[in-house]
Homo-oligomer: A and B are copies of this chain.
Amino acid sequence: MAETHYDLIIIGGGPAGLTAGMYASRARLNTVLVEKVATGGQILITDWIENYPGFPEGISGPDLSDKMLEQARQFDLQFEYGEVEKVELEGAVKSITIGDKVLTAKAVIITTGASPRSLHVGEEKFHGKGVSYCATCDGPFYKDKTVVAVGGGDTAVQESLYLTKFAKKVHLVHRRDQLRAAKILQERALANDKIDMVWDSVVTGMDGLFGVENVTVKNVKTNEETKIAAAGCFIWIGILPNTDFLGNALEMDEWNFIKADANMATSIPGVFAAGDVRSTPLRQIATAVGDSAIAAISAEHYIEGH
């Protein structure tokens, strides 16, 4: 197997990974960023960002991702694309296997982010046929149609509002009798006559011949089930950390987010974590870039000392 040695390997190419890569490369560390599919991460499926400081006019997720990629490249950050098959994090030399390549380094920063949680009602068979986790990607397919949305947090409400640009009606199903989202979003959703709140309810199934035609919703107080005729079902009920590839290598919290201290150091010396994959009170682009600047400088200090 081809083996290449670096100072630092960064796993994951969202805002956290790109920021860590930019800081580390600028600090003249020989750094490679390993990405499974395409850089950008979760922000690629974010339509419009109005709360990343420095962009008063707002910016699209893909545009911000492009800018961060360009900025990291200016300091000669290197890239490898592929799925991480094996990690060895203990000891002075860490190694990562991707296909027939082995990458080794003195330090590793994990910035693999997190993925949307599934409803587990068999929605997988409707992937690409009516079930979506991304209004930006799929919203335009539902012009003048009725859709169901699931969730009650910021993402669910923000994405439901976005859906109203296309759909004629959005039935927003939430298991409680009030939303968890920021007040400003709640106000906008409740004032939007294209959004119909389906309180105290959960989705229990969906059916259709070639794609979603009906979404079954159960009221958790009355146990009554109702079929809502809908061409699509958008699911925003939380996120899961992308940490399966790590096995039990690192100390995690109860939801399998990686525990890291104020220096972004994990339970293994020379291994750092930053961004959504970390156990943290808030997951925003702003917090991802803050974490990652710290992780890169911590990795530099660690490498200088080893």
Residue positions of A touching B, CB distance < 8 A = 15, 18-19, 22-23, 26-28, 50-56, 59, 64, 67-68, 70-71, 74, 182-184, 187, 262-263, 280-282, 284, 286-294, 297-298, 300
> What are 17 sample pairs from A and B whose C-beta atoms fall under 8 A apart?
A22-B51, A22-B53, A26-B182, A26-B184, A51-B293, A53-B71, A54-B55, A54-B71, A55-B67, A56-B70, A56-B74, A262-B281, A282-B293, A286-B289, A286-B293, A287-B290, A287-B294
B54 touches A68 (CB 8 A): yes
CA distance A284 to B262 in the complex (A): 15
Q: How far is the CA of A288 from the CA of B294 in the complex (A)?
A: 11
Q: Tell me if A183 and B15 are in contact (CB < 8 A).
A: no
Copy total for this chain: 2
* A75 and chain B: residue at smallest CB distance: B184
> How many angstroms between the C-alpha atoms of A74 and B262 in the bound complex?
32
A50 proximity list for chain B (CB < 8 A): 26
In the complex with contacts A53-B22, A280-B262, A281-B298, A27-B293 CB distance below 8 A = no
A28 to B50, CA, bound (A): 15
Known: A18-B53, A28-B183. 20 other contacts (CB 8 A): A15-B53, A26-B51, A26-B184, A27-B182, A53-B68, A53-B289, A54-B54, A54-B55, A54-B59, A54-B68, A56-B68, A56-B71, A182-B300, A263-B281, A282-B294, A282-B297, A284-B290, A286-B293, A289-B289, A289-B290
